């Protein structure tokens, strides 16, 4: 049985992990016979968004780990405790938290930097030859993790694709129900809610992503 480290970036599409993507990722792992442990950075998130209005919540702050614990039903550990040797693969659901709390792509675009603890862990998986799955907007970090020429997808968003290419990646177009595999780099990506118009569409693509990650493990 493969064991997968799942990295959550908070709770909620606009400032944390996309909840549907996170839950579907865990469901697909279980359905395909894998076990998992959730982790999240123990740090303040970039900002807090009111998910009803879509506007920033002025004067409010939240912790990424504490918020992510809502999705994981409390069964979550600080990112700093994750060890490459304990797992067979790494999986990162999307949501703006991936672009705000794991890196700063949401504000810096192609000049982004990746949060150091996450970058060290992800690069550790890559160096160990263990597969990595990135979902939704998280593939913007693919080249930073696996190096120049890493092939990945966010679907067909031209601006994000251009940024991925500018950062050294190679963007591949992909329908929502599929994933794209860079077998050499052991990188698997899927668009999910970069394209999905329904939970079912996101589920199909995430299921394909998880299947391909486990096949490489």
Known catalytic residues?
136
Distances, alpha carbon 38 to alpha carbons 8, 29, 170, in Å: 7, 12, 29
Distances, alpha carbon 64 to alpha carbons 4, 16, 27, 51, 118, in Å: 20, 7, 22, 16, 13
Please give the Cα distance from 93 to 24 (Å, whole number). Answer: 9
Q: Which residues pair with 171 in a beta bridge?
A: 152
Q: In what order do the strands lie in the sheet with 35-40?
A: 76-78, 35-40, 3-7, 89-92, 132-135, 187-190, 180-182
Joined together, the tokens standing for residue 79 give 């990112």
Q: Do the beta carbons of residue 119 and residue 145 sit within 8 Å? A: yes
Among residues 118, 123, 129, 91, which one has the least CA distance to residue 216? 129
Distances, alpha carbon 34 to alpha carbons 61, 68, 87, 89, 100, in Å: 34, 21, 11, 10, 28
Please give the Cα distance from 128 to 137 (Å, whole number). Answer: 24
* SS3 label, residue 110: helix
């Amino acid at each position: 049985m493969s064991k997968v480290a799942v990295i959550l970036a908070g709770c909620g599409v606009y400032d944390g992990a996309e909840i549907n993507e996170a839950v579907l990722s865990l469901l697909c792992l279980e359905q395909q016979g894998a076990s998992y442990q959730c982790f999240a950075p123990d740090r303040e998130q970039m900002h807090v968004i009111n998910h009803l209005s879509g506007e920033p919540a002025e004067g409010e702050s939240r912790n990424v780990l504490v918020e992510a614990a809502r999705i994981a039903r409390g069964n979550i550990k600080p990112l700093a405790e994750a060890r490459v040797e304990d797992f067979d693969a790494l999986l990162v659901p999307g949501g703006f938290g991936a672009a705000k709390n794991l890196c700063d792509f949401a504000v810096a675009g192609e000049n982004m930097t990746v949060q150091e603890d996450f970058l060290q862990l992800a690069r550790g998986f890559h160096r160990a030859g263990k597969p990595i799955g990135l979902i939704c907007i998280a593939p913007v970090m693919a080249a930073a993790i696996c190096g120049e020429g890493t092939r990945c997808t966010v679907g067909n968003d031209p601006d994000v694709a251009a940024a991925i290419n500018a950062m050294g990646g190679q963007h591949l177009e992909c329908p929502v129900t599929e994933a794209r595999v860079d077998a050499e780099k052991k990188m698997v990506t899927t668009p999910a809610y970069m394209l999905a118009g329904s939970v079912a569409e996101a589920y199909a693509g995430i299921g394909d992503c998880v299947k391909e990650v486990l096949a490489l493990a």
